[in-house]
Chain A
Amino acid sequence: MAQPLPKGGAAPVPKRVAPWPPVLRAFLWAGIGFVVLAAMAAWLDPSPVSPYLTAVGSVTGWFGALIGWLLGIGGYDYVVRPMMGYPTPRIRTSGWRRYFEYAVDHKVIGLQYLGASTGTFLIAGLIAMAMRFQLMNYRPTLFHYPQDYLNAVGIHGTLMMFTVATVAMVGGLGNYFVPLMIGARETMFPKASGLSIWLVPVGVLTVSMSPLLGQWSTGWRGYEPLAASDGSGLLYYYLGVFALTTSSLIVAINLTSTILFKRTKGMTWNRLPLFAWGILTVSLLNIIWLPEIQTTFILGMMDKVMPLNLFNVFGQPLGYEYLFWLFGHPEVYIVVIPALAIWNEIIPVMGRKSLFARPIAVLGLVFVMLLSGMVWAHHMFTMMRFSEMLPFSFFTEMISIPTGFAYLAVIGTLWNSRLRLTTPTLLVLMSMFNFLIGGLTGLFLADVPANLQLHNTFFVVGHFHFTIIGGMVFSWMAAMYYWLPKFSGRTYSEFWGKLGAIWVFIAFNATFLNFFILGLHGMNRWVSAYPKYLQPENFWTSIAAYLLGAGFGINIIHIVWAWVKGPKVKENPWGAKTLEWQTTSPPPAKNFEELPVVVGSFYTYGKDVPDPVMFPVAQERAPGS
């Protein structure tokens, strides 16, 4: 890859800095940053009971560690010094080490995000297994105190929401594929993007280690006034989420700017790939709502470390809930919109049929985005006046209409198509089924009388797992199988791919359909001990959950094996038309030898349909042209 373009005339030096691994330097600088700022806090605000590390010190120290980490990983050499006019050192552009260093290549960054998301998915999954082990028995077994269990639930939910669901499709697949799909050589702000990924390990470590400072029981929501009675570990929940959401915010600004301004010639809005549309709409949601929740969480954190009464019982606890769900429900669509886009990306290719009602599919994504900010209060029906519930109930039911547009486009495309039932196809169809179950059960929860009965039961847990795991994670897997030949130039085994897909589909439904029944039978959320009559059902649900965990493991191992050792495959094995398939696999450093020109739709199939992509210079040079 060519060196990053110098700014302001500063010539790059032909030598790399950091004679030792940047990750080690980052750890060292983070440690120094923590000690310095924590000591400063102890000096300015001494505590007679804790002379070395106070609650304030642990927060300021964390910020010191964050700054030290980012500077150490490459921010000092590649961002801060060049910003001040010093030359930019060379960035490693080949070899495996580049994946563990600061990078500006969007493909490297995309893979770093995918690695971080997958690793966190495994951690969160193991925690889920532990939770299900606890719930196999109606009495406490693994978690001896309710707080232990609740803390595990909180870490599981936080990691899944902020590191897997929000990050894998946007930070991972979005960073890797959006520039390729729109015909760009790089993203708009590669330097910021190179730093953003390194916020993820900080966030994951902070949240995972938070119980060391004291348990917290509020789940992924940090609910007030419950939070007021939690231990100091909650501070690191807020801070971990701050790091993770900052990472996603940088991704959102970078990818939005890239889609707006770096499209190649002929890439009009009418021709923009569906996945790029999905990333654009999600990024706009992220740009608005992530700063909102960050501010709310920082306020919640200040409430705990300072003598304030913002959201505790003396202040406005409901105010916190309002502010949380203002973000919390759009978050669901932040997670799901890329999945809806992936369906419409894969099905026309596998069906060799033109995408049905493309404008409707795009409008569906846009209207889901617009309506997502108007439904949040349905999470709070138990705390509201009836008169306030109606509009939120109405809009919650309304949002199923644009969501249905995505289904409409896929079903119309499937109609009379000669569908190739490959692993990605299978996973898309499974994702559609799962999300349909999630959506239909969501209608019950949008309905006030049903909601008031089902609130805080396992029915709700089943509902959101069907939308997020069933919808998003299945689509993520479909995308990984679909784009595997592009990532690696290799392909997977259809047998193992289909076996893995069917395995997780059956295990997933066996697990989470049971959640609905458990909920209707009276199983509450947030409890590690429950009435004895629910034990048999919980037992079998846990067995299904273990099978689901094993199924995900099989798929991950299979994908990694195929990536490294799978049979080599010809370029564009699916015969797809979008631009990422018009370059070599894996793509070269600057993506394309010559930037493509788009002259038609990527989703139109049939006889005599001209190729939608041109390479004018190459075609001019070609013999006989």
Chain B
Amino acid sequence: MVVKGGSLNEENGVGIKHYRAGFILFLISQAVVFMVLIAVRFLIAGGKVGPYSQPLGVVITVVMLLSAWLAKSSRNAVQAGNSEAVQKRLASAIWLGVLAFALVLIMWTMVRNDGYSVTMPSLEVFWVATGFWLVYVLLGLFVLFAARSRGRLVGYTPDNDWDLEASSHFWTFVTVGWIALWIAFFFL
């Protein structure tokens, strides 16, 4: 069992902080994906901001921030020993994530319906970058779902919530990824 401040393998002194660090290495590797996408955005489209919906961009950002906060706060509920709140907050985080996913699809549809060419450089990079992000959203939703299922079947304790913590970190990463894309595509 992975325990906070303790270790999986006492002989090697490996504890939760080391798993966290290993997980951060994974997140760093995935951050490179977003860096490349942003680099390609400037390579292909220069500094041009495309004709995508600015208000929807703000709404998606707010929805994702709220979702990430709920996922993170589910750990506070574990600390408080309130497993019902863990389930509710994770479910809310998941539904908000689904909403953000749907909003991006709506934004795509709006741009198409406005009659813009698919191959407009600022739109090309927008499709591919947000498409990449949607894949991360799907992965994030799956890990949140798995964390919720695990909470229901096994339960979390203040000393043993690594699976929930990792899921929450990944979802925060997905949110930060959106914010990076939002700033690069909507402002810069």
Q: Give the interface of A toward B (CB within 8 A).
A: 5-10, 80, 83-86, 184-186, 188-189, 249, 252-254, 256-257, 260-264, 287-292, 294-296, 298-299, 302, 306-310, 314-316, 319, 322-323, 595
| B113 on the A face (CB < 8 A) | no
Other-chain residue from B40, B121, B143 in contact with A299 (beta carbon distance below 8 A): B40
- Contact check, B128 vs A308: say whether CB atoms are below 8 A apart: yes
Q: Please, which residues of chain A bring their CB within 8 A of the CB of B32? A: 288-289, 291-292, 295
Q: Which residue of A lies closest to B150 (CB)?
A: A85
Q: Please, which residues of chain A bring their CB within 8 A of the CB of B2? A: 7
CA distance A260 to B13 in the complex (A): 12
Q: Please, which residues of chain B bring their CB within 8 A of the CB of A323? A: 36, 39-40
Q: Please, which residues of chain A bring their CB within 8 A of the CB of B39? A: 323
Q: Please, which residues of chain B bring their CB within 8 A of the CB of A319? A: 40, 43-44
- Contact check, A184 vs B12: say whether CB atoms are below 8 A apart: yes
Q: Please, which residues of chain B bring their CB within 8 A of the CB of A299? A: 36, 40, 128
- Contact check, B22 vs A295: say whether CB atoms are below 8 A apart: no
Other-chain residue from B124, B127, B132, B163 in contact with A295 (beta carbon distance below 8 A): B132
Distance in angstroms from B153 CB to nearest chain A CB is 3
Q: Which residue of A lies closest to B2 (CB)?
A: A7
- Contact check, A292 vs B36: say whether CB atoms are below 8 A apart: yes
| B92 on the A face (CB < 8 A) | no
| B102 on the A face (CB < 8 A) | no
CA distance A80 to B163 in the complex (A): 12
Distance in angstroms from A522 CB to nearest chain B CB is 36
Closest 4 CB pairs of A and B: A85-B153, A257-B22, A85-B150, A261-B18
- Contact check, A287 vs B25: say whether CB atoms are below 8 A apart: yes
- Contact check, A316 vs B22: say whether CB atoms are below 8 A apart: no
CA distance A309 to B122 in the complex (A): 11
- Contact check, B154 vs A262: say whether CB atoms are below 8 A apart: no
- Contact check, A310 vs B128: say whether CB atoms are below 8 A apart: yes
Q: Beyond A85-B154, A252-B29, A294-B33: 16 further Cβ-contacts under 8 Å? A: A9-B154, A83-B146, A83-B163, A84-B146, A85-B152, A256-B25, A288-B29, A290-B29, A291-B36, A309-B121, A309-B124, A310-B40, A315-B124, A316-B43, A316-B44, A319-B44
Distance in angstroms from B4 CB to nearest chain A CB is 13
- Contact check, B119 vs A309: say whether CB atoms are below 8 A apart: yes
Other-chain residue from B18, B22, B127, B163 in contact with A308 (beta carbon distance below 8 A): B127
Q: Please, which residues of chain B bring their CB within 8 A of the CB of A9? A: 1, 154-155, 160
Q: Please, which residues of chain B bring their CB within 8 A of the CB of A262? A: 9, 12, 14
- Contact check, A8 vs B163: say whether CB atoms are below 8 A apart: yes
CA distance A256 to B160 in the complex (A): 24
CA distance A356 to B152 in the complex (A): 58
- Contact check, B25 vs A8: say whether CB atoms are below 8 A apart: no
CA distance A298 to B128 in the complex (A): 9
Q: Please, which residues of chain B bring their CB within 8 A of the CB of A298? A: 132
| B95 on the A face (CB < 8 A) | no
Q: Which residue of B lies closest to A326 (CB)?
A: B36
Q: Please, which residues of chain A bring their CB within 8 A of the CB of B149? A: 84-85
| B114 on the A face (CB < 8 A) | no
Q: Please, which residues of chain A bring their CB within 8 A of the CB of B35? A: 292
Q: Please, which residues of chain A bring their CB within 8 A of the CB of B36? A: 291-292, 295-296, 299, 323
How many inter-chain contacts with C-beta < 8 Å in the A-B complex?
Answer: 131
Q: Which residue of A lies closest to B152 (CB)?
A: A85
Q: Give the interface of B toward A (CB within 8 A).
A: 1-2, 8-9, 11-12, 14, 18-19, 21-22, 25-26, 28-30, 32-33, 35-37, 39-40, 43-44, 118-119, 121, 124-125, 127-128, 131-132, 143, 146, 149-156, 160, 162-163
Contacts A8-B150, A8-B160, A319-B43; A287 near B28 (Cβ below 8 A): yes
Q: Please, which residues of chain A bring their CB within 8 A of the CB of B26? A: 253
Distance in angstroms from A433 CB to nearest chain B CB is 36
CA distance A86 to B152 in the complex (A): 11
Distance in angstroms from A2 CB to nearest chain B CB is 11
30 residue pairs bridging A and B, Cβ less than 8 Å apart: A8-B1, A8-B160, A9-B155, A9-B160, A83-B163, A84-B150, A85-B150, A85-B151, A185-B11, A185-B12, A186-B9, A189-B22, A257-B18, A260-B21, A261-B21, A261-B22, A287-B29, A291-B33, A292-B35, A295-B33, A295-B132, A298-B132, A299-B36, A302-B131, A307-B119, A308-B119, A308-B128, A309-B119, A309-B121, A316-B43
Q: Please, which residues of chain B bring their CB within 8 A of the CB of A315? A: 44, 121, 124
Distance in angstroms from A311 CB to nearest chain B CB is 9
- Contact check, A257 vs B25: say whether CB atoms are below 8 A apart: yes
Contacts A8-B150, A257-B21, A310-B44; A295 near B9 (Cβ below 8 A): no
CA distance A256 to B29 in the complex (A): 12
- Contact check, A80 vs B124: say whether CB atoms are below 8 A apart: no
- Contact check, A185 vs B9: say whether CB atoms are below 8 A apart: yes
- Contact check, B1 vs A310: say whether CB atoms are below 8 A apart: no
Q: Please, which residues of chain A bring their CB within 8 A of the CB of B119? A: 307-309, 314
Q: Please, which residues of chain B bring their CB within 8 A of the CB of A80? A: 146
Q: Please, which residues of chain A bring their CB within 8 A of the CB of B124? A: 308-310, 315
Distance in angstroms from B111 CB to nearest chain A CB is 14
CA distance A188 to B156 in the complex (A): 22
Q: Please, which residues of chain B bring their CB within 8 A of the CB of A86? A: 153
- Contact check, B118 vs A253: say whether CB atoms are below 8 A apart: no
Distance in angstroms from A372 CB to nearest chain B CB is 15
Q: Please, which residues of chain B bring their CB within 8 A of the CB of A294? A: 33
CA distance A92 to B44 in the complex (A): 51
CA distance A308 to B120 in the complex (A): 9
- Contact check, A253 vs B44: say whether CB atoms are below 8 A apart: no
CA distance A188 to B151 in the complex (A): 24
Task: Kindly name the residue among B149, B150, B156 whose own CB sees the greatest number of chain A CB atoms within 10 A.
Answer: B150
Q: Which residue of B lies closest to A8 (CB)?
A: B154
Q: Please, which residues of chain A bring their CB within 8 A of the CB of B146? A: 80, 83-84
CA distance A8 to B125 in the complex (A): 42
Contacts A85-B154, A253-B22; A302 near B9 (Cβ below 8 A): no
Q: Please, which residues of chain A bring their CB within 8 A of the CB of B8? A: 5
Task: Kindly name the residue among B28, B40, B125, B143 whose own CB sees the greatest number of chain A CB atoms within 10 A.
Answer: B40
CA distance A205 to B62 in the complex (A): 44
Other-chain residue from B11, B14, B132 in contact with A188 (beta carbon distance below 8 A): B14
Contacts A291-B30, A299-B40; A83 near B150 (Cβ below 8 A): yes
